[in-house]
Structure 1
Amino acid sequence: MEQQERAERTRRALIRGAADVFDRIGYERATLSRISAAAGATKGALYFHFSTKADLAQAVRDEARAASTAAVEALAERPVLALQTVVDLTHHLARALRTDPLTRADVRLSRDAEFPERSRPDCYEEWAAAVRSLLQRAKADGSLLPDADEDAVAALALSLIAGAELFSRDGEGEGTGAGDGADADWITRVWGLVLPRLAPADRLPLLRPAGVGKTLR
């Protein structure tokens, strides 16, 4: 049992180390030596868990996607208005794109021309689907005006998330690191401007542009 637990810790360290390297320098420049060093593991340990660099990159994407899906589901299950959940989702994903190497690496790998498995659906496609589902719920629970343009609201939400990603990266397209991104107060300001145009007057006092439950990890 102890050996299995140690092997699982090593595997997770390799995935985390690989995510950090893929995010910072991309798939092509990410050597297995760099990844094993970032993980604090030997190359032998790396090859024990992953046959190729592509397998390791796919494991990074799988874990990132699993965490993202779990976060979306946890947000959607809370007893809050669905439009509030859309707001909270943009804050959560914006924060993940600033601070979480797994999420950042997933985005970069999905666009990296050198990564052979990039044909898998982009994470933004899954986030867009989640937002559209929440907007349908928002009309059902009365937090979104009946005549609101769902496509436009979804585009706004995805634009806020993409903007957070853009601001988290430097001019060369490499990750700036978890400590470099300022808190996304600008997302709060945008929602503060648009929520009065989206929500009925009786629902507006229940909506928080800054988000609620922001400690979700």
Structure 2
Amino acid sequence: MAQRTGRALQQDRAVQTRKKILNAAAAVFDELGYGRATIADIVQRSGMTKGALYFHFKNKSAMAAAVITAQIEGMSGIPPHQLALQQLIDTGYLLAYQLRKDPIQRGASRLAMEQAAKDLDTKRSNDLWLELVTGILTEARRQEELRTSVNIEELAWHFVASFSGIQNMSQTYDGRMKLTSHLKVMWQYVLPSVVDPVVLAQLELDPDRGERLANSLSSSGS
């Protein structure tokens, strides 16, 4: 029993160490960009040794890939909703809120905008988001929430591309402080053209949903 307990504590410490390094890497990527960020910067920010960093991550590109994956994983805890489109709206609002607070979300978004890094797969973030949004829209189609004329793949691409552009513009003009409000405007213009009118009347577009969801997820995880 003592041996199992000791092993469990060791595994827990390893998980916490990896999380600390990943948060530090995300913060450095957000501030400096992938090209300017160095292993030394991440080591200093994390407070860990270089040996600990290399135990968990082979190199800088592996850390970047892990940050991008963690961004999507951070969306997995959203409570299910009977309307798939409300799930999509809530996902957008939660991400918009966390882009102001969470180093993983901020770092991943900065990485998605990188263009010159040869050892970084800049498509990975968009591909993961396209997969997530397409899955939600597919469920919305199954539940007859979408107009019959909607092409799911085209709409998913439009939503991901639009959010990316909106958050980039918001970062430039208001430090993402008005991002949820900008997102609400996008929903108001786009949703009526793709959503069944009966379903549209049931959707909640309150921008404060992102903060409420974040607080709920934080409470349930504590």
Q: What amino acid sits opposite 1:113 in the alignment?
A: A
Deviation at 1:123, TM superposition (A): 1.7
The answer to whether the 8 A contact 2:166-2:179 is kept is no
TM-score (norm 1): 0.74
Deviation at 1:168, TM superposition (A): 4.9
The answer to whether residue 199 in structure 2 is matched with residue 208 in structure 1 is no
Report what 2:3 is aligned to: none
1:84–1:55 Cα change, 3 Å: closer
Q: What amino acid sits opposite 1:30 in the alignment?
A: A
1:84–1:26 Cα change, 3 Å: same
Report what 1:123 is aligned to: 125
1:52–1:190 Cα change, 3 Å: closer
Q: Which runs of 5+ in 1 are unaligned?
A: none
User: Separation in 1 of the partners of 2:36 and 2:72?
Assistant: 23
1:65–1:115 Cα change, 3 Å: farther
TM-score (norm 2): 0.73
Deviation at 1:59, TM superposition (A): 3.2
Deviation at 1:151, TM superposition (A): 4.9
Q: What amino acid sits opposite 2:205 in the alignment?
A: P
User: Separation in 2 of the partners of 1:192 and 1:124?
Assistant: 23
Report what 2:88 is aligned to: 86
Q: Write the mapping of 1:64-213 to structure 2, written as runs, cut at 5 A.
A: 64-68=71-75, 70-71=76-77, 74=78, 78-110=80-112, 111-114=114-117, 116-118=119-121, 121-151=123-153, 153-170=155-172, 181-210=177-206
Match of 2:29 among 17, 22, 35: 22
1:34–1:84 Cα change, 3 Å: same
User: Separation in 1 of the partners of 2:168 and 2:48?
Assistant: 32
The structure with the greater share of residues assigned to helix is 2
Instruction: Calculate the aligned-residue CA RMSD, in Å.
Output: 3.1
1:32–1:52 Cα change, 3 Å: same
Structure 1 residues 162-203: Cα deviation after superposition (integer angstroms, max 9, x where no partner) = 1343035449xxxx6xxx533421221232233333333332
Deviation at 1:4, TM superposition (A): 4.2
Q: How many residues are aligned here?
A: 204
> Structure 1 runs of 4+ off > 6 angstroms?
none
Q: Is the deviation greater in 97-106 or in 81-90?
A: 97-106
1:30–1:204 Cα change, 3 Å: closer
Structure 1 residues 82-138: Cα deviation after superposition (integer angstroms, max 9, x where no partner) = 22222222223333444332233334435353351426x422222223323322332
The answer to whether residue 61 in structure 2 is matched with residue 54 in structure 1 is yes
1:158–1:54 Cα change, 3 Å: closer
Equivalent residue of 2:74, what SS? Answer: helix
Equivalent residue of 2:42, what SS? Answer: helix
1:159–1:8 Cα change, 3 Å: closer
Q: What amino acid sits opposite 1:102 in the alignment?
A: I
